[in-house]
Amino acid sequence: MSENFRPETLAVRAGIERSQFNEHSEALYLTSSFVFKSAAQAAARFANQEPGNIYSRFTNPTVTMLEQRLAALEDAECCIATASGMSAILACAMGLLKAGDHIVCSASVFGATVQLFGTILKRFGIETSFVSGTEVAKWRASVQPNTRMLYLETPSNPLTEVYDVAALGAVAKKAGALLVVDNVFCTPVLQRPVELGADVVIHSATKFLDGQGRVLGGAVLGRRDVIYEGVFGFLRTAGPTLSPFNAWVILKGLETLRIRVEAQSASAFELARWLEHQPQIERVYYPGLPSHPQHALAMRQQKSGGAIVSFDVKGGRETAWRVVDATRMISITANLGDTKTTITHPASTTHGRISQEARAAAGIGDGLLRVAVGLEALEDIKADLARGL
């Protein structure tokens, strides 16, 4: 937007492109293609000599509105929306890397990301070294001459490890690599990786951006030269594009993102403090707690600890499953970032497909539970967990 609006305003107003009807709410353009005035105009559009929509695998006005709004919120030059968070990560890798390249990736990332890098990209000649731990020196030591990408989530899923984005951005720069940060847990409300020094930001819009568990979506953001040439080039050809309907849902989700994330994070902080005092709990993982190993760094990088709390229960898998099964209100589901509180047992679900060794390296034990706090009354959430504990 031309004016220097604050993020709260951008979340509601950025990216709006009104049609000739001057609709107030953002229009949903459910159309697979766009009509040209003439053969000459069709040719000009295809030759990139005239801007405009051609086909919704490339661009669609509703999707473009979402991209512009999210770019404004992340303070990024360019945003490309994708069909899911995983297709955002795939588009990022396929658009920016080639056979023979090397990725340094945090071991503590989303299970499917480990699978994608460690198994699928490997078949295409892209090697990944997984680093466990948050020490910058370990990342530096893993860099090879062919390293082109450093990849992390902060806070990580599900252990909420916090990584120093500015320091790792410097490591990436020195190596001639791109620093890619998955910002799903914080959203731009709590953390803006581009400002901190990341080259690329990844979103699963499925989580907080939609925020009500309705649709899948994703996004890749960063400098125009990186995102437009590389990522969009792959996406428009290969096709894991976001549907306009999902874009519209997420666009409306962004309008309430700040109040949801702030309220859910405030509840999560209180829940984490309460959990720390429960005798059946071994350890609580929450960046907003002073007991968190990277608490100081988290408070520098993030506005608050976020809405996700993980904890180890005493008694391993048996106790963990008992806590899950004793809930009556909290949803037993893999999603997070929803207005409804959700609970998962990562070792047997989201991280169940990676090897036992990889799981151990990532510190995901059998007693670990992850709660993504929603908008219900905090006392009801506590009571639901207390039953199994």
Ligand X SMILES: *Cc1c(COP(=O)(O)O)cnc(C)c1O
Residues that bind ligand X (CB under 6 A): 84-86, 110, 153, 157, 182, 184, 204, 206-207, 216, 218
Q: Which is nearer to ligand X, 183 or 319 (CB)?
A: 183
Going by their DSSP bridges, the two strands 342-344 and 368-372 should be labelled as: antiparallel
Smallest distance, Å, CB 322 to ligand X?
25
Could you tell me the CA-to-CA distances from 75 to 4, 78, 101, 188, 217 in Å, in that order? 12, 9, 28, 9, 20
Q: Which is nearer to ligand X, 61 or 218 (CB)?
A: 218
Q: Which is nearer to ligand X, 64 or 183 (CB)?
A: 183
341, 342, 363: which is closest to 351 by C-alpha? 363
The residue type found at 308 is I
Residues 6+ apart with CB under 8 A from 376: 329, 340, 341
H or E segment to which residue 194 belongs: helix 193-196
* Rg of the chain over all Cα atoms, to the nearest angstrom: 21
- The reply to whether omega before 293 is within 30° of 0 (cis) is no
Q: Which is nearer to ligand X, 110 or 269 (CB)?
A: 110
**Cβ-contact 5, 13 below 8 angstroms:** yes
Smallest distance, Å, CB 187 to ligand X?
11
DSSP 8-state symbol, 213: S
Smallest distance, Å, CB 53 to ligand X?
25
Smallest distance, Å, CB 252 to ligand X?
18
The alpha carbon of 319 is separated from its chain's Cα centroid by a whole number of angstroms, namely 30
Smallest distance, Å, CB 194 to ligand X?
17
Q: Which is nearer to ligand X, 114 or 143 (CB)?
A: 114
Q: Nearest residue to ligand X, using CB?
A: 85
The DSSP bridge partners found for residue 131 are 106
Q: Which is nearer to ligand X, 186 or 281 (CB)?
A: 186
Smallest distance, Å, CB 88 to ligand X?
7
Smallest distance, Å, CB 183 to ligand X?
9
Q: Which is nearer to ligand X, 158 or 388 (CB)?
A: 158
Task: Please report, to the nearest 10 degrees, the dihedral formed by the alpha carbons of residues 219, 79, 17, 45 taken in order.
Answer: -110
**Cβ-contact 287, 305 below 8 angstroms:** yes
Q: Which is nearer to ligand X, 110 or 163 (CB)?
A: 110
**Cβ-contact 372, 338 below 8 angstroms:** yes
Q: Which is nearer to ligand X, 222 or 388 (CB)?
A: 222
In the chain, the DSSP E strands lie at 78-82, 102-106, 127-131, 147-153, 178-182, 200-204, 218-222, 281-285, 308-313, 331-332, 342-344, 368-372
Smallest distance, Å, CB 342 to ligand X?
11
Distance CA 217, CA 233 (A): 18
Smallest distance, Å, CB 21 to ligand X?
32
Smallest distance, Å, CB 153 to ligand X?
5
Q: Which is nearer to ligand X, 68 or 160 (CB)?
A: 160
SS3 readout for 49-104: CCCCCCECCCCCHHHHHHHHHHHHHHCCCEEEEECCHHHHHHHHHHHHCCCCCEEE
112, 5, 10: which is closest to 68 by C-alpha? 10
